[in-house]
Structure 1
Amino acid sequence: MPWDEWEQLKAEAAQRHATRMQIDQVPADPGEGGSPHSGGKGGGDGIDVSHSSLNGNSNLLIELAGLLYEGRPDGDLCTTARVPRSHPDVAAKVDRFARFADDQYQDATALLAALSTRLRETKGTYVTYDGEVAGGLLNAVLETGKYVSPEDR
C-alpha cells in the first residue's frame, strides 16, 4: 500500500470518528444563545441534556472499565522474562514495566468508576433541579393564570 493511500485512509477514519463522538455537546457557535428548545432566543444556559444520555454515558464508563479489566496485562508475561530465561537487566526492566502498567491500569479503572459515579450524581441533581423549575412554572401558571371557558375564546 502506498504511503499516500495510507494517509488518505487515516484521514477518512479520523473524520468518521470525529463526527460520531459528540456526546451531549453544545455547538461551538450557538448563535444568539439559548438552548435548541428555546429556539435560540436566549434566556437559556445553552446546555441541553438528555437524562437517558447521562445514565447511558455513566453505564458506558463502567463498561469501559470492564473492558479495561478484561484486557489488563497478563501476569504470565512477566514470568517468561525472569532471570533463568533472560538477562537479569531485562528481567528487572520487564518487572518494572509490569508494575508500572498495573499501576496505570488501577488508576484508569478507578478514574472511570469515579467519573461514572459523578455522572450519575449529576443526573440526579439535574433531575431534581428540573423538577424544581417545572414546579415553579406550574405554580406561576396556577397563581397568575386566568381560566377562559371555550365559549369565550
Structure 2
Amino acid sequence: MAWDEWEQLKAEAASKQSAHMQLNHVPADPNGGMGTKDAWGDLIVSQKDLSAIGKAAHDLFEDFGRYSDHARVSSLAAAGMLQSEGFALGGALSHVAERWVDQVQSLMDACAHISNHLRYTKNQHAADETYISTILSSISTLDEGFDERKGG
C-alpha cells in the first residue's frame, strides 16, 4: 500500500466519523453535581434517608415483636377457654394464633434483613471510599514521581 493510498483511507475514515462523538466523557451536570431524577434518571439517596429507613425497620422489628406477642397470648388463652367449653371455634382460633406466629416471624425477619442490609451497605460504602481514596492518592504519588523525573 502506497503512502498516498494510506492517507486517502485515513481521510475517508475521518470523514465518516460523527463530529459529535466523544470518548471517555460524561457531560457536565448543569445542577452542580445534584442531578435531578428527570434530568439524569439517577437515584439519589442521602445517608440521612438510609438511616431513617433502617431505624424505621428496626423500630418495627422491636415494636411488632412485642405487641404481636400480646395478640398471640390473648388468642391462645381465648382458644383454650373456648375449647374447654366445647366450642369448635376454639380449635379454629388456636389454628389462627399458630399461623399468626409464622406471619409475625416472616415480617420480623424481613425488617431485620432491611435493617442489617442498610447497615452493611453503609459500612461497605465507607470501606469502598477508603479504598478508592487510597488508590487515588497512590496515583497522585506516582504522578509526582513522574513529574520529578521529567524535571517539572
How many corresponding residue pairs? 110
Deviates more, 1:63-72 or 1:49-58: 49-58
Is 1:103 the counterpart of 2:102? The answer is: yes
Equivalent residue, structure 2, for 1:8: none
Q: Is the 8 A contact 1:33 1:46 kept in 2?
A: no
Counterpart CA distance in 1 for 2:41 and 2:143 is 25
Counterpart CA distance in 2 for 1:33 and 1:83 is 73
Equivalent residue, structure 2, for 1:83: 83
What letter is aligned with 1:78? L
Moved segments of 4+, more than 6 Å: none
Equivalent residue, structure 2, for 1:67: 63
Matches within 5 A, 1:103-142: 103-142=102-141
Identity value in percent: 15
Counterpart CA distance in 2 for 1:45 and 1:134 is 27
TM-score by length of 2: 0.56
Equivalent residue, structure 2, for 1:57: 53
Structure 2 gap ranges (5+):
1-26, 148-152
CA RMSD of aligned residues (A): 3.3
* CA-to-aligned-CA distance 1:53-90 (integer Å, 9 cap, x gap): 43443233111101101220241233223223462x21
What letter is aligned with 1:112? C
- Which one has a bigger Cα radius of gyration? 2
Deviates more, 1:129-138 or 1:57-66: 129-138
TM-score by length of 1: 0.55
What letter is aligned with 2:77? T
Structure 1 gap ranges (5+):
1-31, 147-153
Counterpart CA distance in 2 for 1:33 and 1:108 is 44
Equivalent residue, structure 2, for 1:38: 33
